[in-house]
Amino acid sequence: MERKHLHLKGPELSRIVAGAWRWNAEADVHRLVSVSLEAGITSFDHADIYGDYGNEKIFGEVLRKNPGLRKNMQLITKCGIKLLSGHHRKTWIKHYDTSKEHILASVDNSLKALGTDYIDLLLIHRPDPLLDPEEVSETFGLLKQNGKVLHFGVSNFSNTQFEMLQSYLPFPLVTNQVEVSLSKLDALYDGTLDTLLRFKACPMAWSPLGGGRLMSAASALWSKKESYKATETQLSLAWLLKHPSGMFPVIGTTQPERVIESAKAININLDRQDWFEMLKIASGRDVP
Amino acid sequence: MERKHLHLKGPELSRIVAGAWRWNAEADVHRLVSVSLEAGITSFDHADIYGDYGNEKIFGEVLRKNPGLRKNMQLITKCGIKLLSGHHRKTWIKHYDTSKEHILASVDNSLKALGTDYIDLLLIHRPDPLLDPEEVSETFGLLKQNGKVLHFGVSNFSNTQFEMLQSYLPFPLVTNQVEVSLSKLDALYDGTLDTLLRFKACPMAWSPLGGGRLMSAASALWSKKESYKATETQLSLAWLLKHPSGMFPVIGTTQPERVIESAKAININLDRQDWFEMLKIASGRDVP
Amino acid sequence: MERKHLHLKGPELSRIVAGAWRWNAEADVHRLVSVSLEAGITSFDHADIYGDYGNEKIFGEVLRKNPGLRKNMQLITKCGIKLLSGHHRKTWIKHYDTSKEHILASVDNSLKALGTDYIDLLLIHRPDPLLDPEEVSETFGLLKQNGKVLHFGVSNFSNTQFEMLQSYLPFPLVTNQVEVSLSKLDALYDGTLDTLLRFKACPMAWSPLGGGRLMSAASALWSKKESYKATETQLSLAWLLKHPSGMFPVIGTTQPERVIESAKAININLDRQDWFEMLKIASGRDVP
């Protein structure tokens, strides 16, 4: 598996990232971690809220039982959303909180749950309209200084939000994790990928398979399966991997065999015309 | 009343600004000025065109009769629109004019009408498609040099227009006065507030009560009136004041008692969840 | 005919540019070139693909027969689109290609077809989603170094695409050639012209007459024909020429007499109010 820096000054991640969004009590997380690592997927994407604030702890159990694993993996997590949850009784409406107090508390919770003493990459989960960039800058600075977080980024930010927050920070935002796939092309056209290229920060792509919508869709999209000896999943990921912004797809599967399948996408180099044919089918139109 | 710099190098204004849009011959402008000042509202927002080119003169009468007032207040005015008006017979179509000739003439008219020898803040009223940034830069420079205008800004500008004009100026645009309220949320989502935060220029908010549309709307929006011991107007202003961009609401009332009511909004610190509940009701949806 | 630099470090072009899009085998290209030059139109806009990859060669015939012409003209061409064509059998789907290999090959083809040893200005024809800015920067650098291309620009790029590519180049993009006319006003409102003003690169305007749609439209638009002693075409071009971004309209006619007619637009200085009246009629609304 190719490894690559998200940013010149950012962490080195496996080009395909395993997302722990659905790695809850019903999933075999121990096996998923093993299989991922064997397949070369060394980077794991979390959020404080995944699994109703529970998935980080389940993942942490694996690390606690296998203390040697941590040094060979990169842990990403997110904060800034407060969900209605039995775990947070003071929250009575879903909202965002990017205050210093909440970010610091959320990181401490994540560290404890994950059973680690540092997070490789912390993302602000959503653009909080009440985000105070000076406060966030101070908070990130503290977390960097005390070694709890090595690198910082954002998720679901617009171009102006990204550029605004960056302008307050003394170090780079190393990514913007956004939804992008053959069934969600907005980031290619609304400037999201352009802006990241300009800041030399690679995108992370969530829902890179379009939440399964693609698989049930137009079979024409998969006409090249045989020539590439590839599955729909692999073609979908290879299509993202070819983009010059250097995307890191975050796969969300809970099935070990699908992890293995996905990891192999890294070896597919789509031909330029095949890439444009897939774009044409996905977007429903020829390029202008 | 809190006072605050619009920009590090900009004027210090009262956090709530009195708008003279409707302070015409039918309003008791003398009383409105007194009441505003007593309430700590020391900044007054004009435009050459308000009241069919008449309101600045009416305001000026107050200053002429009370020469001591000027030094304790900040005067903002705008130029760049030419209205169909009996006062401007050469204009036969509503249009914009940001030529050197027109800006200089408009400022001289405003100074004479207001009975003052300087304007604290001059805004280009609307983005003129024929705006020549080199000409505007030269004109602003002249006005700054001869002391007629202390600071400059714009109104109703898009992000690209703001950044473009700024790039031609040797000093900062200290604000963009835009429409924003609980019933007009665009500026929160289209990058307007992000861009101002990036340039460290505070927004001024016109029509901060949504032109009254809010007051007749969903009563759910005002469910917190009792707990804050506040009126609808005060909650609406407090909602804007909490935004980290540091907005300066420009109230437009002609009723002295409403000026007093509005000024008290400054003391309300909305709880984060209450703020998000108001956003949810105003936007009709939960945050994603 | 006024001549003007597209950018301080860009080529000096005639303010009106002759577009060779339809200068194919059925047009009298020799006469069109002569008439253009006599009218002061010294800049010619090509693309590799015009006339199914044939128009550059037809234009080149004129130069080969009249070797003295080249030094008095500026040649612009474009690359980056691959059309379905009998001339390019390996292409089976319309797509974009901004790889080093394709740009270098396309420039060599254009030089050979046009019968010249340098191109004054090369544009990337469309924003290629697979454009790799490092590769393009390296390729432009090579072409500049070996003297095959003097200046570089883009066409149909969005603001974020322009700014992104510019950030990778050690020299300025000198233009963005975009569609703009009284019947296609988007560039005035979507930031395209603002961004070019910020980068001090003048726009080139393709389809400046709206592909003829304007001519058959509302006669009110042409109410000033008599007072300016001008045709519809001339008023349309004069309207674009007045914009402070310094547009260079690219006319597309194949009729010599229309070239002469268009060239005269340069002498019309529209009154500001007339300009706004035309905007009002074209946009269907008053300025706000």
B neighbour chains, 3+ CB pairs within 8 Å: A, C
Residues 6+ away with beta carbon under 8 Å from A146: none
* DSSP code of residue A162: H
Tokens of A147: 């070694």
pLDDT of residue A217: 62
Task: Give residue-wise pLDDT tens across range A145-186.
Answer: 999 999 999 999 999 999 999 999 999 999 999 999 999 999
Spell out the SS3 assignment of chain B: CCEEECECCCCEEECCEEECCCCCCCCCHHHHHHHHHHCCCCEEECCCCHHHHCHHHHHHHHHHHCCCCHHHCEEEEEECEECCCCCCCCCCCCEECCCHHHHHHHHHHHHHHHCCCCEEEEEECCCCCCCCHHHHHHHHHHHHHCCCEEEEEEECCCHHHHHHHHHHCCCCEEEEEEECECCECHHHHCCHHHHHHHHCECCEEECCCHHHCCCCCCHHHHCCHHHHCCCHHHHHHHHHHCCCCCCEEEECCCCHHHHHHHHHHHHCCCCHHHHHHHHHHHHCCCCC
C neighbour chains, 3+ CB pairs within 8 Å: A, B
pLDDT of residue B218: 64
pLDDT of residue B66: 96
Mean pLDDT calculated for residue range C244-251: 98
A273 in a domain, yes or no? no
Where is C43: in which H helix or E strand? strand C43-45
Q: How confident is the model at residue A220 (pLDDT cuts 50, 70, 90)?
A: confident
Q: How many residues can be counted in chain A? A: 288
Contact C128/C79 with Cβ under 8 angstroms? no
Q: Cβ atoms within 10 A of the Cβ of A269, count?
A: 10
Tokens of C215: 């001519």
Measured in whole angstroms, the distance separating CA B220 from the mean position of its chain's CA atoms is 28
What stretches of chain A adopt beta strand conformation (E)? 3-5, 12-14, 17-19, 43-45, 74-79, 81-82, 95-96, 119-124, 149-155, 173-179, 204-206, 248-251
pLDDT above 70 for C217: no
C233 in a domain, yes or no? no
Task: Give residue-wise pLDDT tens across range B171-193.
Answer: 999 999 999 999 999 999 999 99
Do the chains contact at C279 and B129, CB–CB below 8 Å? yes
In 3-state terms, what secondary structure has residue A250? Answer: strand
A50 in active site: yes
pLDDT of residue B117: 97
Q: How confident is the model at residue C1 (pLDDT cuts 50, 70, 90)?
A: confident
pLDDT of residue B216: 67
pLDDT above 90 for A1: no
Distance CA B46, CA B72 (A): 17
pLDDT of residue C213: 74
Using a CB-CB cut-off of 8 Å, the residues of chain B touching C287 are 94-96, 126
A41 in a domain, yes or no? yes
Mean pLDDT calculated for residue range B116-140: 98
Answer left, alpha or beta for residue C38, where phi above 0 means left and psi between -120 and 50 means alpha.
Answer: alpha
Q: What's the mean pLDDT when you consider all of chain B?
A: 96
pLDDT above 80 for B217: no
Active-site amino acid positions of C? 50
In Å, what is the CA distance from A19 to each residue of A281, B262, C179? 27, 49, 43
Q: Which residues of C touch A (CB under 8 A)?
A: 91-97, 99, 126, 129-133, 156, 158-161, 163-164, 167
Tokens of B286: 């939960």
Q: How confident is the model at residue B1 (pLDDT cuts 50, 70, 90)?
A: confident
Specify the CATH number for the domain of residue B208: 3.20.20.100
Q: Cβ atoms within 10 A of the Cβ of B134, count?
A: 11
Q: Which residues of C touch B (CB under 8 A)?
A: 159, 188, 191, 194-195, 197-198, 242-244, 272-273, 275-277, 279-280, 286-288
Distance CA C167, CA C161 (A): 10
Distance CA A119, CA A11 (A): 11
Amino acid identity of residue B246, one-letter, is: G
pLDDT of residue B269: 98
Q: Which residues of A touch C (CB under 8 A)?
A: 159, 188, 191, 194-195, 197-198, 242-244, 272-273, 275-277, 279-280, 286-288
pLDDT above 90 for A262: yes
C167 in a domain, yes or no? yes
**Cross-chain CB nearest to A97 (options B188, B197, B272):** B272
Q: Is B190 exposed, middle or buried (0-12, 13-18, 19+ CB in 10 A)?
A: middle
Do the chains contact at C96 and A287, CB–CB below 8 Å? yes
C48 in a domain, yes or no? yes
Distance CA B129, CA C192 (A): 12
Q: How confident is the model at residue C285 (pLDDT cuts 50, 70, 90)?
A: very high
Distance CA A256, CA A33 (A): 9
* DSSP code of residue A224: T
The neighbouring-strand residues paired with A95 are A82
Chosen for mutation from A242, A271, A272, A274 (greatest number of chain C CBs closer than 10 Å) is A272
Using a CB-CB cut-off of 8 Å, the residues of chain B touching C194 are 158, 160-161, 163-164
Tokens of B82: 């030419």
DSSP track, C101-118: HHHHHHHHHHHHHHT-S-
Q: How many CA atoms lie within 13 A of C50 on its CB side?
A: 24
The neighbouring-strand residues paired with C206 are C179, C250
Tokens of C261: 């007619």
pLDDT above 80 for C123: yes
Contact B194/A161 with Cβ under 8 angstroms? yes
Distance from CA of B169 to the nearest CA of C (A): 11
ipTM entry: 0.97
Q: Cβ atoms within 10 A of the Cβ of B248, count?
A: 24
Closest chain B CA to residue C241: B130
B217 in a domain, yes or no? yes
Distance CA A277, CA A282 (A): 9
C264 in a domain, yes or no? no
pLDDT of residue B214: 72
A278 in a domain, yes or no? no
* Domain containing residue B84: 3-283
Mean pLDDT calculated for residue range B116-125: 98
Q: Cβ atoms within 10 A of the Cβ of B170, count?
A: 8
Tokens of B224: 């917190």
Count of domains observed in chain A: 1
pLDDT of residue A213: 73
Task: Give residue-wise pLDDT tens across range C58-89.
Answer: 999 999 999 999 999 999 999 999 999 998 89
pLDDT of residue B219: 79
